[in-house]
Amino acid sequence: MSQEEGAGPEVRRVVDRYDSGAVREEATLVEGKLHGEVIGYSEDGAVVARSPFQEGALHGTVRLYDEEGTLLQEVDYVEGRFHGEMRVYRNGRLEWSGRFQEGEREGEARSFGESGELVAVQQFSRDRLHGTSTYYAPGGAVVKEELYREGLRHGVAREFYPDGSIRQETPFVDDEVEGEVMTYAPDGTEESRILFRGGEPAPPPAPDPGRSPEDAPIRRRFVESADREAGLLGRLRGEDGSERRRN
């Protein structure tokens, strides 16, 4: 459509349809660019998406729904990119919230349980875990803290008893266990101490020919302690936290 001199911009309403003829999307084009709210529908006619556009780019909060009208997700856009907050819902409750900066996760992200209780608080930088990740029990007590550097565990991770006392300390270097893994009883006394090198339990020290036979029970207890903790490595490797992908 040609425009006369001095006339306003060309505005067209466009409709996309399913093969059945039901409306799939409704949108407005201004000078050939999407502008305003684009509404998406299920084939049964339920609104499943509301997406604001400005001069052809997403700009504002996009909202997604299931066919029952329950909110699934809210995502903030600025000029076509994730920028602002993202909120994910399950069965109408908030499950995850975090901030984005120019398309990448940045700053604090929070995860919530089925009753709305806080499950985890994690820190991101440039879309990777960076800083302290804290995990909570249903009652709100801290159960684990991990330190991350550029997406990898780096530093001492701590697990806690319900009363807040330390249950275990595990040192990481670039996501591998490196150093002594310390396990404590609820009263704070040391239960075990296992040395790791390069992510693997270090072998016990070789017997010293200069030591007396009385030292043998000590060396034997060291070996037995290492055997009792043989399953520790597998458990540590399985602890990746809720968001080590993105997340």
Determine the average pLDDT of the residues in 173-190: 97
pLDDT digit string, tens, across residues 59-114: 999 999 999 999 999 999 999 998 999 999 999 999 999 999 988 999 999 999 99
Other beta carbons less than 10 A from residue 52's beta carbon: 17
> 221 pLDDT exceeds 60?
no
Selection from 44, 43, 61 nearest residue 52 by Cα: 61
pTM: 0.75
pLDDT of res. 227: 52
Alpha carbons 155 and 169: distance in angstroms, whole number: 10
pLDDT of res. 205: 73
pLDDT digit string, tens, across residues 108-138: 999 999 999 999 999 999 999 999 999 999 9
Q: What are the CA-CA distances from residue 85 to residues 71, 101, 102, 103 (Å)?
A: 15, 9, 11, 11
> 41 pLDDT exceeds 50?
yes
pLDDT of res. 246: 40
pLDDT digit string, tens, across residues 145-173: 999 999 999 999 999 999 999 999 999 99
Average pLDDT of the chain to the nearest whole number: 87
With vertex at residue 238, the alpha carbon angle to CA 120 and CA 247, rounded to the nearest 5 degrees, is 45
Which DSSP letter does residue 116 get? S
**The CATH classification of domain 45-238, taken from the options 3.40.50.300, 3.30.930.10, 3.90.930.1, 3.40.47.10:** 3.90.930.1
Q: What is the per-residue burial (b if ≥16 Cβ within 10 Å, else e) of 169-205?
A: ebbbbebbbbbebbbbeeeeeeebebbbeeeebeeee
